[in-house]
Amino acid sequence: MIPANHSARRPSVLHIFKVYYPDLFGGTLSVIRDICAGLKDIFSAGVLVCSRTGGKSQIVVNDVAVERVRSFGDVLSLPAAPTYPFRLWRRIAEHDLLALHAPFPLADLVFAFGLGRNRPLVVHWHADIVSHASLRRFVEPLMRRTLRRADAIIVSDAVLVKNTPLLREFADKCRVVPFGIDVSKYNMPTLRVDRVNARGRLVLACGRLVPYKGFDVLVRAAVGRSFEVWIVGEGRERVRLEELIKSLGVHDRVRLLGSVPESERVKLMCIADVFAMPSVSNAETFGLVQLEAMAAGQPIVNTSLDTAVPQVARHGIEAVTVPPGDPEKLGEAIDSLIADPECRRRMGEAARHRAMTKYSATAFSKGIETIYREAVAATAPTVRASRAAAIGWHQAIQIAAALAWSDMRHRYIRSLLGPFWMSIQMAIMVAVLGSVIGHFSNASAVARLPMLALSLTAWTFLNSVVLDATTALQNSASLIKDRALPPVIFLLQCVFRQALFALHNACVPLILWLLLVPKEFGGAVAALPGLALFVVFTLGLSLVLGAMATRFRDLKPIIESSLMLAFLSSPIIWSAEMIDQRSTVMRLNPLTHLFAIWREPLSTGHVAMTSLAYVLAGLSVLAVASIVTIARLRKAAFWI
């Protein structure tokens, strides 16, 4: 749990949405702004959005850093900002928590493909995609993957979970936190009606001028009525609404006010007689603007959507609820309120009381804070591991090499011969095996000793690295959990440690080579590339098998048995004339080709292309597996 007075470093939250102030004003933007302001002493906040207005890409809005990614417009209500997913991916590592305000398919592209899994993700569900059915068919699988990845899904009302099929799939993750409103902002003195509208018949509506808001229905409802309608907001429907107002002949009573400052909007909320919210689709999930009108003590006329809209302002108590898309019923409801001042007063008082008690800004901030804290705390080990993963590869290699050197020194403290015990042991093994194998071969046993010693040294290196890797992470559990060192360091440590041991063992084949083989160094030079591939192959094998053996403990004995079988069925100690290398086992055994690419240049001066192709194909598979393994290693703290 993160203490509330955490002064050393506040956890940071990245809010992810398609647009933000000052490019647009709207309900979702108000929610983001209120979260940032309400939690500013606990979480530092940043916002990443799209913008087609140009100007600076980095701005500060209400003390919150906002990055605006260039957009070239909207396509099916989706910003055409091709670089946004890349910017989001780059920004993820800078923050402790990601807050996605859905729906936003551009962000789903990032989360659906597994990027940013080392950071907790909280999804604020603002609306479902109810239009553009063709787009939904492609976007919904991405949204589903994002919700599956999320640590929590915040909804404004339980009815959204009940009536949204996609949310029902993840009902166990959904947390209900009703939006909040600062009622004190609407404590304006009551103004004389005749200063604004002498007839006292002012109907106010606010929101973006988009189809689902139903403002065209409100304009039609004004035909043949005596009330006035003021609509606050901007959007792509403005031209169509202006033409509709003109064609219906209501331009003297219906006004489009455009965008107005918040202080002016608060004033308009207070002086209106009725607030109308004529939304026509489930894209309107809550109606934050009707909550503002309720805080101003206004009676509401809303629509019977399958969302929280009619739950916030309830029919007969705070509102009159009418069917969506019905201008006649909407007009009748407004007229009934205009004609009954006592009903307006009663509903207005009930609306303000509900806003104060049910939808307080304090309760909203507390609810969001609790969910954010839980998400950060639940993923703290992963976050610590990801920060440790920020250690560069150069540093990781340095740490692994230092640990390997320390292992070497501590292993031979108070030892008379130190690491040369390994060389003596290798010399004895080569002598015994060389003598035994000489009885099975027509070739001179002494002539085979240099290649036998070199093969055994290489095999010991590969075998020891892989077996070490299967227990490396368990043996370093405290450093991974408590010190949050990247697990890959300890797998690299195995390679470096065994490489040091191999250098001591290499004394035996080197001495035998100098004594028993003609001084021809061309083959040795030709063998170096193959030897390098051998070492890289061993490294990849240790990474993959080491991680798998940590995740699945019963794999370790299987790996040990497989290595023994591979050794016995490989031309490591056996000579070419003693075995049939054309057998299926020999041709399919990776070790046959892995040893061939550096041994054949030593003996014949060239390497078979079949062996080289086999090893390169194996390395390609190992490279992909290693990349996946390194990404999965962030969970090693949980495995051990």
pTM: 0.56
Mean pLDDT of 398-423: 71
pLDDT at 213: 93
pLDDT band (50, 70, 90) for residue 497: confident
Question: What whole-number percentage of the chain has pLDDT above 90?
Answer: 25
Return the minimum-mean-pLDDT range out of 260-274, 446-460, 569-583.
Answer: 569-583
pLDDT band (50, 70, 90) for residue 3: very low
Mean pLDDT of 185-201: 55
pLDDT per residue as tens digits for the range 334-355? 999 998 889 999 999 999 999 9
Return the beta strands (E) in 4-125 as ranges: 12-16, 44-51, 58-61, 64-70, 74-75, 78-79, 97-102, 121-125
**pLDDT of 437 strictly over 70:** no
**pLDDT of 197 strictly over 50:** no
| Highest mean pLDDT (candidates 12-26, 361-375, 565-579) | 361-375
pLDDT band (50, 70, 90) for residue 106: confident
Dig out the tokens for 208 from the structure. Answer: 């973006």
Dig out the tokens for 598 from the structure. Answer: 């550096």
- How many other C-beta atoms are found inside a 10 Å radius of the C-beta of residue 424? 13
Residue the block writes with tokens 């929280």: 308
Return the minimum-mean-pLDDT range out of 159-163, 216-220, 592-596.
Answer: 592-596
Among candidate residues 561, 558, 556, the one with its CA nearest the CA of residue 546? 556
Mean pLDDT for all residues in the chain: 82
Interhelix angle 420-438/488-505, nearest 10 degrees: 60
Dig out the tokens for 214 from the structure. Answer: 């139903």
pLDDT at 1: 37
- How many other C-beta atoms are found inside a 10 Å radius of the C-beta of residue 459? 18
Return the minimum-mean-pLDDT range out of 132-136, 382-386, 513-517, 547-551.
Answer: 382-386
User: Parallel, antiparallel, or unpaired for β 228-232 and 58-61?
Assistant: unpaired
pLDDT at 513: 76
**Phi and psi of 70, rounded to 5°?**
-60, 125
pLDDT per residue as tens digits for the range 63-81? 888 988 888 877 766 778 8
pLDDT band (50, 70, 90) for residue 131: low
In terms of C-beta density within 10 A (0-12 exposed, 13-18 middle, 19 or more buried), how is residue 9 classed? exposed
Mean pLDDT of 406-421: 65
Dig out the tokens for 389 from the structure. Answer: 């993963």
Q: Which residue has the higher pLDDT, 433 or 301?
A: 301
pLDDT band (50, 70, 90) for residue 244: very high
Among candidate residues 561, 558, 563, 626, the one with its CA nearest the CA of residue 591? 563
pLDDT at 396: 79
C-alpha to C-alpha distance for 210 and 207, rounded to whole angstroms: 8
605 secondary structure, DSSP code: S
359, 180 contact by CB (below 8 A): yes
Mean pLDDT of 477-495: 78
pLDDT at 69: 86
pLDDT at 511: 82
